[in-house]
Chain A
Amino acid sequence: MSETATPVAMVNVQVDGEWKQFPKGTRLIEACMKSGKFIPHYCYHPKLSTPGNCRMCLVETGRPKMTPDRQPVLGADGRPEIAWGPKPEISCAAEVAEGMGVRTSSPLVEECRKGVMEFLLINHPLDCPICDQAGECRLQEFSVEFGKGESRFREEKVKKPKRVDIGERIVLDDERCIMCSRCIRFMQEVAHDDVLGFLNRGSHTTLSVYPGKRLDNNYSLNTVDICPVGALTSKDFRFKMRVWFLKETQTIDVSCGTGCNIVIGSRENIVYRITPRENEEVNSCWMPDSHRMNFHYLHSDERLVSPLVKGEEAPSKWTRALAGAAEKLQGRDPAKTALIASARMTNEELFLARRLASALKIENFDVLLRPQKGDGFLISDDGNPNTGGAKLLGLATGKLSEIARRVESGEITALIVLGEDAVDCGISEGALKKLEALVFAGILANKTSPHASVVLPTSAWAEKRGTMINIKGRIQRLNQAIQPPGQARDDWEVLRDLVQAVGGSNGVYSIEEVFKVMASETPALQGLTISRVGDLGLQLSLPA
């Protein structure tokens, strides 16, 4: 909201005996949660419409007692006296109102929750030991916390479809579904691909797709995130790892210029899954499936794991490889040397790459741009995550095609390639072969790496810290979830060592320091530190 907007009126609400103020229009469930009272709920999701169908969020409510002339009756404390309603009310569908009262844990409320839990579990298969949702299942959690602990149901349970192959990336177990309709509403309201629905409504209600349709939308995995139970599970992740073993790291997606905020779930240096993390300014609570699944290459056999110097014993030592690279690059005609960096590198790395170029007096440098057709939602038109940083730090010069041409013609005889494949930049393998010096730093073997005089294995985005600037000019933070494989090192350290080896400036000893130096030299970053960027990032005002 802009500062000039009319301030929202506040209303007084009594929550478990304490009077509090909330902006008009606040949902009662939100008001309770903001007051530190947890309200168990299934169907309610702050980003979706509110059908009020699960009844788990029942609370006792009251409205102010009124005199015959519609004035609130005030008690001894000057506060309105509350006439408590005879029946509980669902807090997800109610809005706060002046003088309202709510009881979130009265005996009646506790009784209601027990009843709702008992109903929800009547037909549930109770297969938690083999269910992959265990550990993050609302049904299990609320059953322990608010349920009865034993069933009085002696009848036959309704049988429903199991292991339904409902989409390319999703499996459905209809017996576990509690019919909250979150998935249906997500597909309708957010993904705008209304393929899910309830068939055979009644005691046989079955979540299903229309015959012949599939839940294949590129946002389908978000339904797995919001499904409160183990009904919808991800084919990629199910049965791979119990969720309580996962270490969670807050970071950002680097698959495009949006920079969706995410959580990496990893264990012992292996990434098992990625889930979106809420950021109202970037991705709300969602992310595209294609980006969510874009991490398996981190553990690919093609990862470069040790430094190499062509013609020398492999693997090489880092000290030798860095010295070897410096030997190759130093004392050359800068006009015949070029540097290709990547807009997939962090700001810190780009900043050091720029320093490397200055130390070698190279003027031919650029990054590879990746314009693409976005999807109008979370996949942006920019296939690079940090074009903003490359521009801000002066790496995006537009000289790439000229560099490629001059490598092809043999005018350029030495090339530094950071995190890209020179072949993607329009340079043929034949031309690469003829280069006198080719220093390559990257994470995966590609068409460039076999021709490199020196190969420097570096870290992927989940293996390092740093910052990037997204398509909207928001600076966001990468955090390290896992260690790089083998001898691979953090890119900024490699670049720093290279700068030093070619006789450049003094060392910096932490990524924070790199950021500090970079911020001091870059007006748009003035006053910032990595920690100030925070988990949700910061909007920059960038030069046009």
Chain B
Amino acid sequence: MRAMTESLTRQADSLTPEFIAEADELVSHYPVSKRSASLPLLHLWQNHFGFIDDSAMEWIAARLDLTPVNIIELVTFYPWFRREQAGKTIIRVCRTLACALAGSYEVKDKFCQAVGLNPDCEHHGFGHAPPTTADGKFSVEFVECLASCGSAPVALINDDLVENIKTSEIPSLVESYK
């Protein structure tokens, strides 16, 4: 595991004034309890840095008058958040009912094969990045319903929703993200 162990650079040391202004703006949405800004700040951070390191949790905690343990509780609860770098392209295959019935398990296996990952690799969140290829290009994981059940099976590739996936199209689909 990469950043979850040690990293020499601390993300919090490279904050730009723009980032801080954006964070302040988010905090200002919650005048009653700053604590409510925890999740928005974590999203902002992960979108910006790709993952959340210890300095991030400490910075956010300090910004919200909390202690870091309050933040790590969230980071290890939501599988969306990760404490280490994921692939440049993240493929999220829906596995909820409609998609499962439409073959999402096969779809995920095919994605794994196409990018070169072991399809049996399990992922539970807890701050870990989803299984990622050695070159750091792709991560593949299951997610729950993407609210597109009518066009199952679906996957979210970075921010693109891909619908009615046919397993035969997967290699070329992956190719287009290389």
User: Across chains A and B, which 4 residue pairs bring their CB atoms closest together, nearest first?
Assistant: A197-B69, A210-B69, A194-B67, A201-B77
What residues make up the interface of A, taking CB atoms closer than 8 Å to B? 194-202, 204, 208-213
B77 touches A210 (CB 8 A): no
B68 touches A210 (CB 8 A): yes
A194–B68 alpha-carbon span in the complex (Å) = 9
Q: Name B126's contact: one of A194, A196, A200, A211 (CB within 8 Å).
A: A200
Q: Chain B residues with Cβ under 8 A from A209's Cβ? A: 69
Whether a CB of chain A sits under 8 angstroms from the CB of B48 is no
Q: Chain A residues with Cβ under 8 A from B148's Cβ? A: none
Q: Chain A residues with Cβ under 8 A from B68's Cβ? A: 210, 213
Known: A200-B76, A201-B73, A211-B72. 14 other contacts (CB 8 A): A194-B67, A194-B70, A195-B69, A196-B69, A197-B70, A197-B73, A199-B72, A199-B126, A200-B126, A204-B124, A204-B126, A209-B69, A210-B72, A213-B68
Q: Name A197's contact: one of B72, B124, B125 (CB within 8 Å).
A: B72
Within 8 A of A (CB), among B55-90: 57, 66-70, 72-73, 76-77
Whether a CB of chain A sits under 8 angstroms from the CB of B141 is no
Q: Name B77's contact: one of A195, A202, A213 (CB within 8 Å).
A: A202
A195–B72 alpha-carbon span in the complex (Å) = 11
A201 touches B76 (CB 8 A): yes
Q: Chain B residues with Cβ under 8 A from A200's Cβ? A: 76-77, 124-126
Of listed A198, A210, A212, residue having the most chain B CB within 10 A: A210
A119 to chain B, nearest CB (A): 20
Chain B, residue nearest A212 (CB)? B54
A200–B73 alpha-carbon span in the complex (Å) = 7
A194–B72 alpha-carbon span in the complex (Å) = 12
Q: Chain A residues with Cβ under 8 A from B125's Cβ? A: 200
A199–B81 alpha-carbon span in the complex (Å) = 13
Given contact pairs A204-B124, A204-B126, A199 touches B67 in the complex (Cβ within 8 A): no
B70 touches A211 (CB 8 A): no
A194–B126 alpha-carbon span in the complex (Å) = 21
A199 touches B124 (CB 8 A): no
Cross-chain pairs A/B with CB under 8 angstroms, 21 sampled: A194-B67, A194-B69, A194-B70, A197-B69, A197-B72, A199-B76, A200-B76, A200-B77, A200-B124, A200-B126, A201-B73, A201-B77, A202-B77, A204-B126, A209-B69, A210-B57, A210-B67, A210-B72, A211-B54, A213-B68, A213-B69
A214 to chain B, nearest CB (A): 12
